């Protein structure tokens, strides 16, 4: 690998050169915020976009440039906060010169040659990877597997059913703008340019992405396939209903599952309390139930309302929420890089918020 190795000698950290493409988008801005929290010096950051300009960074700003072969050649890692088409172009073009790319789009998630990684669930998928690309999952899938993986490891998984309640920021700047415009209006019309399949303010929209002939949406198909791939359970019985809700930030999931082996409620609770990346909240009302407001700007997946399902053998239900822009996107991508090479990229993960 090119560039200096990360060293902590007498308190001195030597940093990799980090690229963020899509730096002025919603997720790109969160990447930059996390890097600033970690202490990455501005001179070690390269921000890229479709137009030149500047992007906020820490208490100042950094220049935004176009990604070309020369710029790519100096990078140690490149994070893509871009759509699938742009990601493919970058990976097939300048990205060939970058040792590690973590892509946040759907472009490579289901490619059998590309690892799809949530470190708490399948960091081992990074071992011996063939290429320089690692895929970051859908924001709903990322949160779900942080809860499902420890249950899989302890008791096995027979089936998973979920309903996701996804914040408007999951649709990027256009989604946020549509929500704010509609929330400030008195009519029932959808805002011009809205990316949603119906008015989102004061309502919910039970369709994300396009409907297939069989009635499943593209978003739901992504969740099915990604959960199976990340958990390494290709035949897992899984079904999702994806719903857009009038929440700015924070995806939530109502999760119903069946284990393969017998497990008591207290056993499942203990597994979740010990699991990395989770914050467990008791279901007896002694603690506030997981809510998007509690997780915005924070790192963990919060899980609670754990209970058994009456009449269903080995059946359990719970409710979880996570910041879709952090664990569902930027933070997970940075954690992936750190898991791929802890010595080189580990310092990019800031203290847990």
Which of the following is catalytic: 224, 251, 289, 318? 251
pTM beyond 0.85: the answer is yes
Condensed to tens digits (0 to 9), the pLDDT of residues 217-276 reads 999 999 999 999 999 999 999 999 999 999 999 999 999 999 999 999 999 999 999 999
Active-site residue, 318 included? no
| Domains in the chain, CATH or no CATH each | 8-137+328-348 (3.40.50.720), 140-167+204-322 (3.30.360.10)
User: How high is the pLDDT of residue 148?
Assistant: 98
* pLDDT for residue 295 is more than 80: yes
Indicate whether 12 pLDDT > 80.
Answer: no
pLDDT at 97: 97
Please check the confidence at residue 187 and state whether its pLDDT lies above 70.
Answer: yes
139 in active site? yes
Choose the catalytic residue: 139, 197, 224, 256.
139
Query: Helix/strand/coil (H, E, C) string of the chain?
Result: CCCCCCCEECCEECCCCEEEECCCCHHHHHHHHHHHHHCCCHHHEEEECCCCEEEEECCEEEEEECCCHHHHHCCCEEEECCCHHHHHHHHHCHHHHCCCEEECCCCCCCCCCCCECCHHHHHHHHCCCCCCEEECCCHHHHHHHHHHHHHHHHHCEEEEEEEEEECHHHHHHHHHHHHHHHHCCCCCCCCCCCCCCCCCCCCCECCCCCECCCCCEHHHHHHHHHHHHHHCCCCCEEEEEEEECCCCCCEEEEEEEEECCCCCHHHHHHHHHHCCCEEECCCCCCCCCCCHHHHCCCCCEEEEEEEECCCCCCEEEEEEEECCCHHHHHHHHHHHHHHHCHHHHHHHCCCCC
């Amino acid at each position: 690998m090119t560039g200096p190795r990360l060293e902590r000698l007498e308190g001195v950290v030597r940093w990799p050169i980090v690229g963020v493409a899509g730096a002025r988008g919603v997720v790109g801005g969160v990447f930059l915020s996390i890097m600033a929290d970690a202490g990455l010096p501005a001179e070690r950051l390269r921000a890229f976009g479709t137009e030149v300009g500047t992007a906020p960074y820490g208490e100042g700003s950094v220049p935004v440039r176009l990604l070309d072969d020369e710029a790519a050649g100096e990078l140690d890692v490149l994070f893509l906060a871009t759509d699938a088409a742009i990601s493919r172009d970058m990976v097939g073009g300048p990205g060939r010169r970058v040792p590690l790319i973590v892509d946040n789009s759907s472009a490579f998630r289901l490619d059998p040659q590309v690892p799809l990684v949530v470190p708490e669930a399948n960091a081992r998928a990074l071992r011996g990877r063939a290429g320089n690309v690692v895929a970051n999952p859908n924001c709903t899938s990322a949160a779900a597997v942080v809860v499902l993986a420890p249950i899989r490891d302890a008791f096995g998984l027979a089936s998973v059913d979920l309903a996701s309640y996804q914040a408007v920021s999951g649709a990027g700047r256009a989604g946020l703008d549509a929500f704010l415009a509609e929330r400030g209006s008195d009519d029932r019309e959808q805002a011009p340019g809205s990316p949603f399949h119906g008015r989102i303010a004061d309502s919910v929209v039970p369709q994300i992405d396009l409907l297939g002939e069989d009635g499943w949406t593209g978003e739901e198909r992504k969740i099915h396939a990604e959960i199976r791939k990340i958990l390494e359970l290709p035949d897992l019985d899984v079904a999702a209903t994806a719903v857009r809700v009038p929440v700015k930030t924070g995806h939530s999931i109502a999760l119903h599952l069946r284990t393969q082996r017998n497990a008591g409620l207290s056993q499942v609770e203990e597994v979740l309390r010990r699991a990395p990346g989770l914050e467990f909240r008791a279901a007896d009302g002694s603690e506030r139930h997981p809510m998007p407001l509690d997780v915005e700007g924070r790192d963990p997946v919060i899980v609670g309302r754990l209970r058994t399902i009456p009449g269903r053998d080995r059946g359990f239900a719970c409710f979880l929420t996570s910041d879709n822009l952090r664990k569902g996107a930027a933070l997970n991508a940075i954690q992936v890089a750190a898991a791929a090479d802890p010595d080189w990229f580990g310092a990019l993960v800031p203290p847990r918020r």
